[in-house]
Amino acid sequence: MPTYDECLVEAELRARACYAEPGRHYHDERHLDECEQRLDGIVGLNEPDRRLLRWALLWHDAIYDPRHSDNEERSADLAQRELMRCGVSGADVEEVGRLIILTKGHRVADGDSLGALVVSIDLAILGSDPPRYREYVEDVRREYAHVPDDQWRIGRAEVLKSLIGHRAIFPAEALRAELEDQARHNIADELRSLGAS
């Protein structure tokens, strides 16, 4: 029987393999790596919190099917099963599931510092430089190739308007200071390109 650490390594490898599945163009290993790099750059986190965030980010898009609306719930279930199998505490398993579910609506309660970080890291692509942002938009569109252009424009515009309707796109202050202005600029440009500004 594998040790606790060996079990977690094997679980992580299975999770990472999910991001290499065919049909993923944005929600892939690059997105996972970018999220992990963002987490590595966050200062002032204690190790238990960093571990919870790392697990949540590792599994947050493990299940990803653009034709379904329950990806976050299924990803959370998968993470919780894997972590329980490895003997992770019930409280930590529950928290990882909660954090993953937050990436569905990207809204967090005031004072939820871990939730703010996981949501902000997941959305960090929105504040990237314009060429990377355009690449991200093209990759997401490829994932939704089954959606006709007119429906795509309407649906995408709704998502973008919801994001910029938040008081802050990035609830974590550290990422907000770095990314908020560029994200709002990128989203405004995309809305114009969709004819929805």
Q: Within the chain, how many helices (H) and strands (E) appear?
A: 9, 0
> Which pLDDT score is estimated for 117?
98
Alpha-carbon gap, residue 136 to 143, rounded angstroms? 11
Q: Assess contact for 57 and 32: CB atoms under 8 A.
A: yes
**Exposure class string for 109-122: b at 16+ Cβ within 10 A, else e:** eeebebbbbbbbbb
Q: pTM for the complete prediction? A: 0.95
Instruction: Give residues with Cβ within 8 angstroms of 27, minimum separation 6.
Output: 19, 61, 64, 143
* Per-block mean pLDDT, blocks of 10 residues, the chain (197 long): 84 97 96 97 96 98 96 98 97 98 95 98 98 98 97 96 94 96 98 87
Cβ contact 136:192 at 8 Å: no
Domain layout of the chain by residue ranges: 1-122, 128-197
Please, are residues 126 and 133 in contact by the beta-carbon 8 Å criterion? yes
Q: Which residues contact 130 (CB under 8 A, 6 or more apart)?
A: 186, 189
